[in-house]
Structure 1
């Protein structure tokens, strides 16, 4: 009888535990499996409801070369709940056409073990250059004045002059020539890297980095000489002041093995390599009333109106989405022209930001509820617009709504709904009681479930003691 009671308690307890366990918050996803040589094969880790981006070390795949990594974060609101999705993507390139087997592998992400089954990827030739198209990437690195440097440390920026709030890239790499007469090992690397980043990171900039959890090696060609590049750090910076950016010279110690004159004699020693200092000039924007507030970059507008014909008092949903290249997270809301024709609620804001060494791209969406008060034809461009500085044109530009809303019917009077005779949705707002808390049914259910588990445990102990 005791065994029967214990079995029932165990089954009930197991069912409750399974019901409480959330679905996997992290998954592995593959990109297209049919590619050309100029296209990368993508492996992504997608994490849901994770605010902080974790470190992810992707596997080494035979005959494929790791290249750039990117990180995308999506923040939105669903049913009043904040939803965050992080996507970390690694690129793999092939040097020649053919079929490549991606073996099964495991990744450890946030103390969670993710498993991927094996798959096949096909790379086809992309043009006349065929198999050599990605054999080595041509670079122009200012640290190399001639081909005499077999090993050098480089701090590179993709721009030497930017506007305030315009992004520029920083990349730290060690370059070793293929025919260099030495062998090298990294020496106390993590400790050294922290010191380098502390010296390099400008305090007057907003940083958007992908995160380099491992040293990525790739083949490059610099002024006709082949090198192996060991990339240690890459990020994009957005200056928030007009102070020029000065990246000082930094030092990296390497453990170098030099072959001696005698046979089988090798000497290991610590050798320092220094980068050259770099300066980025920051320019102020031209005069404008919103000069200190506008975003800087290249942007476009996408908009959606749930209905272009409504009655007075009937709400309509209007989405104002800004897409482009720039500091997406810092994009300000559109300027709303106050008027007596509409009541416009504060927007729900969501964003998708993709960070890579080349650029920060994405979109920011402002979702409004609009309630018209009277009939008429209303071009929304009168009420919704967004000013920014276009870095390509070198001047200010405005994204203005092209939508139009038609309102038909008698003028909407809020007095029909309220004895107070209010003429606006926000009138007497201060008299509302905002201290009342909403009921969190999910929390209540979780607490009740936990109480039930405790009761089952107590019952199980009582059965044993009997």
Structure 2
């Protein structure tokens, strides 16, 4: 009987504790499984409740080649609390068509192994894109063509030679080894060396968004007609916040190098990069040139209702999407007016960091209360100025929504049909002395009381 009571208490105690715990365990997600030969198979790790970007190591998959990696972070406000979700994605490419059976594998997240079930991926017959031919954006990061006479070289490359202030550019650090080079090479204390290199090249006065490379990614490419294997050591986006040219100094990487002949030992050899300069240009004259965001953006908006009564609350979503420094996008400024009450918005953001750019969205969810009747184009109140570096011009995102507010007579004539009441209806009848109840807090305190009671009960049973 005593054992039965104890087991019942333990079971109830476990259920109570479980009800209070939020599951923040990492999960593994897959991209599309039926692909063309030039499309990537993607494995993503989703880590909720993680403020800092997690360290994630993805497995090697037989028959598939690792390439680009991306990191996405989303921040939302739910019930007044900030919810952060980090997503790290790895792309895999197949070099030939066919069906790939991937057995169960592990992904390492912050030093812990997370197991995934196996999966089958099918690559259909299509025209094979040469994996050694890279995109125009990637090409900009490669060293100059004359370097292709060297068997091995280190490169620090930027994809733009000049940028406007606050415009992003990509920076990559890679070691290139020719396929027919008559040498054998091994990395030597690469993490220690890389940290020393980054201290030298990280520019002052720049906002950095890096992909986060926990492992060296290699790929086969072609430079000036010669085939190389690229070992990518570092990849990031920089946004200059001051009007000052950026100079990346020459840096050195030591490698263990030996002859391709068997039996010969290896010795340290240094490889030095060239100096890279990025010119920073001022923005054209404008009253807001020191405040505006720089990038390529578009507006997505949503209005909860296009027809309301005076005093009735509505929600208006103003979401900015595009490429640029998403985290630094300022909140749209709304001029105070007598027609509406605009309350501070709930702000959420989604940022995706890849090798070539930073993209995403930032949302401003407004609580709006109209004061008087009329027809109001929201473009009068919601405008957001930014600078487009591609066109080298300022542009404005302007709301295209129109809100119609009907007067009191219309409201009274239709209240029986719609059952809608305004925010301030019957305000004089409300009893402000009534106590506010936080049911979420009450439930939490009640659960804690039950836990304490169960502990006392278990102690009493064990003593008997």
Q: Deviations over 1:274-295 (max 9, x none)?
A: 1101010000001110000001
Question: Where does structure 1 lack aligned partners over 5 or more consecutive residues?
Answer: 420-431
Distance 1:275 1:312, change over 3 A: same
Cα distance in 2 for partners of 1:298, 1:383 equals: 22
Name the counterpart of 1:424.
Answer: none
Instruction: Please give the TM-score of this superposition, normalised by the length of structure 1.
Output: 0.89
SS across alignment from 1:335: coil
Name the counterpart of 1:8.
Answer: 8
User: Which deviates more, 237-246 or 24-33?
Assistant: 24-33
Name the counterpart of 1:64.
Answer: 64
Distance 1:221 1:395, change over 3 A: same
SS across alignment from 2:32: coil
Q: Deviations over 1:104-154 (max 9, x none)?
A: 112232465422111111112332xx2x53255474633552432100010
Cα distance in 1 for partners of 2:260, 2:161 equals: 40
Name the counterpart of 1:290.
Answer: 288
CA-CA distance at 1:199 after TM superposition: 0.9
Distance 1:250 1:375, change over 3 A: same
Q: How does 1:42-57 map to 2 (within 5 A)?
A: 42-57=42-57
SS across alignment from 1:345: strand
Q: How does 1:9-408 map to 2 (within 5 A)?
A: 9-110=9-110, 113-127=113-127, 130=128, 133-135=130-132, 137=134, 139=139, 141-259=142-260, 264-408=262-406
For the Cα contact (< 8 Å) 2:323–2:358, is it kept in 1? yes
Coordinate RMSD, CA, aligned: 2.5
Cα distance in 2 for partners of 1:121, 1:414 equals: 58
Distance 1:371 1:39, change over 3 A: same
SS across alignment from 2:56: coil
SS across alignment from 1:267: coil
CA-CA distance at 1:404 after TM superposition: 1.1
Question: Where does structure 2 lack aligned partners over 5 or more consecutive residues?
Answer: 410-421
Cα distance in 1 for partners of 2:106, 2:134 equals: 30
User: Which deviates more, 345-354 or 79-88?
Assistant: 79-88
Q: Deviations over 1:175-197 (max 9, x none)?
A: 11111111111111111111111
SS across alignment from 1:336: coil
Give the paired residue count.
444
Cα distance in 1 for partners of 2:215, 2:370 equals: 56
Distance 1:372 1:142, change over 3 A: same
For the Cα contact (< 8 Å) 2:54–2:86, is it kept in 1? no
CA-CA distance at 1:68 after TM superposition: 0.5
For the Cα contact (< 8 Å) 1:348–1:368, is it kept in 2? yes
User: Which deviates more, 194-203 or 139-148?
Assistant: 139-148
Cα distance in 1 for partners of 2:219, 2:437 equals: 55
Distance 1:201 1:443, change over 3 A: farther
Cα distance in 1 for partners of 2:306, 2:11 equals: 56
Cα distance in 1 for partners of 2:319, 2:424 equals: 30
Cα distance in 1 for partners of 2:423, 2:143 equals: 69
For the Cα contact (< 8 Å) 1:301–1:323, is it kept in 2? yes
Cα distance in 2 for partners of 1:98, 1:415 equals: 67
Name the counterpart of 1:422.
Answer: none
For the Cα contact (< 8 Å) 1:337–1:382, is it kept in 2? no
Instruction: Please give the TM-score of this superposition, normalised by the length of structure 2.
Output: 0.89
SS across alignment from 1:4: helix
Name the counterpart of 2:417.
Answer: none
For the Cα contact (< 8 Å) 1:41–1:91, is it kept in 2? yes
SS across alignment from 2:395: strand
Name the counterpart of 1:429.
Answer: none
Cα distance in 2 for partners of 1:451, 1:308 equals: 47
Cα distance in 1 for partners of 2:313, 2:333 equals: 20
For the Cα contact (< 8 Å) 1:143–1:154, is it kept in 2? no
